[in-house]
Amino acid sequence: MKDVKVLGPGCKRCQTTAEMVQAEADRLGIPITIEKVTDYAAIAGYGIASTPGIVVDGKVVHAGGLPKAEDIGGWLG
C-alpha cells in the first residue's frame, strides 16, 4: 500500500490533485491511502513552496500546479 500525501491549503487545485491521484491508482489497481495535509508548518517541513504538492512514501515527487496523469502513474508504480 502506497502512502500518498497531498500538500496544500485545501483549494480547488489541491482537491483536483487528490482526485487525480486516486483515479490513477484505481486505474492501475494500486492500493493507496491519501492524506490531505493543510497545515502550513507541515507543508513547509517538506520544503514545498508552491502547492499542491505530492508526497509518495515520504518522498516529495511534485510541487506546484496540477500534475500530469502519466507522471502520477510513474510515481505510484
Q: Which three cell numbers stand for residue 2?
A: 502506497
Question: For each successive 10 residues of the chain (77 residues), what is the average pLDDT?
Answer: 96 97 97 97 95 97 95 95
Domain hosting residue 68, numbered range: 2-76
Q: What is the pLDDT of residue 57?
A: 98
Number of domains in the chain: 1
Q: What is the pLDDT of residue 61?
A: 98
Q: What is the pLDDT of residue 36?
A: 97
Q: Is the overall model pTM greater than 0.85, yes or no?
A: yes
* In the block, residue with C-alpha cell 487525480: 20
Whole-number Å distance between alpha carbons of 54 and 46: 10
- H-helix segments, 1-77: 12-28, 40-45, 69-76
CATH of the domain at 53: 3.40.30.10
